[in-house]
Structure 1
Amino acid sequence: MVWNIVIPIITLIVGLVGGFFIGAYYLRKQLEKMQNDPETLQKMAKQMGYNLNGKQMQRAQQMMKNQQFSKNQPGARKNQGRRK
Structure 2
Amino acid sequence: MNIALPIITLVVGLIGGFFIGVYYLRRQMTTMQNDPEMLQKVAKQMGYNLNSKQMQRAQQMMKGNNPQAGRPAPGRGGNRKGR
User: Does residue 25 of structure 2 align to residue 27 of structure 1?
Assistant: yes
Equivalence map 1:1-84=2 (5 Å): 3-66=1-64, 83=72, 84=77
How large is the Cα RMSD of the aligned pairs? 2.1
Query: C-alpha deviations, 1:49-72, integer Å up to 9, x for none?
Result: 1000111111111111116xxxxx
- Unpaired segments ≥5 residues, structure 1: 68-77
Q: Extract structure 1 runs of 4+ deviating beyond 3 A.
A: 78-82
Using the TM superposition, name which of 19-28 and 53-62 deviates more.
53-62
Distance 1:80 1:43 in 2: 22
Distance 1:24 1:39 in 2: 23
Whether contact under 8 Å (2:61, 2:69) holds in the other structure is: no
Give the CA deviation at 1:82: 5.8
Q: How does the TM-score come out when normalised to structure 1?
A: 0.77
**3-state SS of the aligned residue for 1:4?**
coil
Distance 1:57 1:47 in 2: 15
Distance 1:35 1:17 in 2: 27
Give the CA deviation at 1:40: 0.5
Q: Which amino acid aligns with 2:2?
A: N
CA distance 1:80–1:7, change in 2 (3 Å)? farther
Q: Which protein has the bigger helix share?
A: 1
| Structure (1 or 2) with the larger CA radius of gyration | 2
Give the CA deviation at 1:32: 0.4
Using CA pairs below 8 Å that are at least 6 residues apart, which structure has the higher relative contact order?
Answer: 1
Identity %: 72
